[in-house]
Amino acid sequence: MTTPYERVQLSRQRTAGVFPLPSVLDCIRYAITELAEYDDALLRQERTGDKRNNDKTHDPRSELGQALYMLLSAAVQLKCDCDVSPGDVTNKFAAYVASMRCLVSCAYYGDARQAGALMWHVDDAFAVLCSLVHAHGWPIDALIDDTCARFETKHYTGEAQ
């Protein structure tokens, strides 16, 4: 069985020719936007009476998977295997806020080019994001595998099998 880190690493190898890997900092920034899209999807489910642009499906699970995928894409470049165990969380909103805080810290250290501190923050962000996934009752491995499969289906070149 592969770890989420190894699964994303394989996915990135499979899609390298058509789905370029952004810089570490840009991967973190994309993780931040995907996490915000997760919250947007929740708002759409919770507040159905609001006037919103509803031209596409908004799936919180998919958005959270993409946030983890982008964070792990940064980790692959840092060779930081993200082996920190997630905590047990029941308050999803608190876990979301903590996840965003951790990702913003990653962006700060990534922009400052402080590699040692950045690796620690990426590990921490991974653990907190995994806690958020656990709060929903979604298995991490399945979420990462589903996310990788969607990217691979969309971008797969047949290289690096």
pLDDT in tens, 28-79: 999 999 999 999 999 888 887 877 766 677 899 999 999 999 999 999 999 8
Query: What pLDDT sits at residue 160?
Result: 41
pLDDT at 121: 87
Q: What whole-number percentage of the chain has pLDDT above 70?
A: 89
Whether 123 has a pLDDT exceeding 60, the answer reads yes
Query: 83 to each of 5, 44, 121, how far by Cα in Å?
Result: 8, 33, 12
Answer for the pair 71, 27: CB distance below 8 angstroms, yes or no. Answer: yes
Q: Which of 117, 89, 93, 96 is nearest to 105 (CA)?
A: 117
Predicted TM-score (pTM) of this structure: 0.89
At 87 the pLDDT is 66
CA dihedral 9, 102, 139, 60 (to 10 degrees): -100
Question: Tens digits of per-residue pLDDT, 98-117?
Answer: 999 999 988 988 877 667 77
